[in-house]
Amino acid sequence: MVKQLSQRPQLLKIIPPMEKSIVIKGDDIAWNNPWHYHPEIELLYCIKGKGTNFIGNSIRTIEEGELLLLGKNLPHTRQRDRRHYLDHPQENPESIVIQFHEDFLGEHFFELREFVHIQKLLHRARIGLKFFGKTRNDVAAKLEKINSINTTASILELLAILDLLARSDEFIELNAANYFSDVHEKSSQKINKVYHYTIEHFREPISLHQVASLTNHSPAAFCRYFKTRTRKSYFQYLTEMRIAYACELLMEGNLDVTRVCFASGFNNLSNFHKQFKKVMKITPSEYRYKSLKKIPSIHPGTNEAGLS
């Protein structure tokens, strides 16, 4: 369950240790993890955890073993599944995170011919990338030992990881190729106010008048405004958020499909089935069965949350 995000992404100041040019740390997902951005690129490997990723316009259930590369100034947050961790206080999420500036090896380092492919990777990561398959497994193995080696070795290891990722085709993009972030512009405050309100209230009925009033638009003008900014309608965005949360509940296996429907913000079981199948390409029951049986429900190369 997500809660208490700030109305606009906050600039997060990351201060590396004096003797290091990169930050390597564990991440247990803070209870009130803010909607934020930072100029550092972030490589994140989730060892274990339950919750939801909000990355740009992408809303996806956190997956254990997922490997993400988030480009500079990409607004994002990870939200714990509050109910799960309140019911299981002995559990904590666990991730490995590396944060670094794109010029951490020198302003023009990645312009060298031998490293241009990495420069292209870091540029592509501005919309968020999720890696899978052998690439994910190989990088995960490197990340699990990177914090135990010395500073020089860790930088060489990171460079090897970036080389591996840059040469891989085992990834999906988390946002559309034309996604843009204008977190520094005053106009971003309005759209992020809508994001904040939706994240707080998506399990409740939400009317167009309610969200339009947040930006001082008429409902019709708000629809045009939101679609221009996000490349999707507001209710498409809201439905995707509810489906992502429903997937989380289905994987837990504690609630039947009817209760998942209403807990996710849907007020009609028939519409829930229709929307779930439209986004996920399978029924809620099929998704639960494949999740509980540890059978991949979606091919890694597809857009599992239906997000663009």
- Residue 200 pLDDT grade (very low, low, confident, very high; cuts 50, 70, 90): confident
- Give the whole-angstrom CA distance, residue 285 versus residue 91: 27
52, 247 Cβ separation under 8 angstroms: no
Q: Which of 140, 173, 206 delimits the end of a domain?
A: 173
DSSP state letters, the chain: ------SSPEEPP----TT-SSEEEEE---TT---EE-SSEEEEEEEE--EEEEETTEEEE--TT-EEEE-TT--EEEEE-HHHHHH-TT---EEEEEEE-TTTT-TTGGGSGGGHHHHHHHHHGGG-EEE-HHHHHHHHHHHHHHTTS-HHHHHHHHHHHHHHHHT---EEESS-TT----TTSTTHHHHHHHHHHHHHHTTS---HHHHHHHTT--HHHHHHHHHHHHSS-HHHHHHHHHHHHHHHHHHHT-S-HHHHHHHTT-S-HHHHHHHHHHHHSS-HHHHHHHHHTT--SS-TTS-TT---
- Residue 187 pLDDT grade (very low, low, confident, very high; cuts 50, 70, 90): low
Res. 35: pLDDT tops 50: yes
β-strand partners of 173: 129
Q: How many domains does the chain have?
A: 2
Supply the pLDDT for residue 41. Answer: 94
- The average pLDDT across 283-307 equals 59
* 156 token code pair: 């060489």
Res. 84: pLDDT tops 50: yes
Q: Which of 139, 173, 207 delimits the end of a domain?
A: 173
My answer on whether 165 and 35 are in the same domain is yes
Res. 301: pLDDT tops 60: no
Whether 80 is in a domain gets the answer: yes
Res. 134: pLDDT tops 90: yes
**For the domain that residue 198 is a member of, what is the CATH number?**
1.10.10.60
Which residues, 6 or more positions from 4, have their beta carbon under 8 angstroms from its beta carbon? Answer: 32, 200
Longest dimension (CA), the chain: 58
Whether 165 is in a domain gets the answer: yes
Helical axes 151-166 vs 133-146, angle rounded to 10°: 170
My answer on whether 35 and 164 are in the same domain is yes
* 91 token code pair: 């559990």
My answer on whether 197 and 154 are in the same domain is no
- The average pLDDT across 14-23 equals 59
The more confidently predicted of residues 94 and 181 is: 94
Res. 17: pLDDT tops 90: no
Supply the pLDDT for residue 295. Answer: 47
Supply the pLDDT for residue 138. Answer: 96
Q: Which of 138, 173, 208 delimits the end of a domain?
A: 173
Supply the pLDDT for residue 189. Answer: 67
* Residue in the structure block whose two tokens are 């904590």: 92
Res. 304: pLDDT tops 60: no
- Residue 151 pLDDT grade (very low, low, confident, very high; cuts 50, 70, 90): confident
Whether 299 is in a domain gets the answer: no
Of 169, 184, 237, 199, the closest CA to residue 75 belongs to 184
- The average pLDDT across 274-286 equals 92
- Residue 11 pLDDT grade (very low, low, confident, very high; cuts 50, 70, 90): low
- Residue 1 pLDDT grade (very low, low, confident, very high; cuts 50, 70, 90): very low
308, 302 Cβ separation under 8 angstroms: no
What percent of the chain is modeled with pLDDT above 70? Answer: 84
83, 100 Cβ separation under 8 angstroms: no
Tell me the average pLDDT of the chain: 83
> Would the pTM of this model clear 0.75, i.e. be above it?
no
Res. 185: pLDDT tops 70: no
My answer on whether 131 and 204 are in the same domain is no
Query: Domain limits at 86?
Result: 10-173
My answer on whether 82 and 201 are in the same domain is no
Res. 3: pLDDT tops 70: no
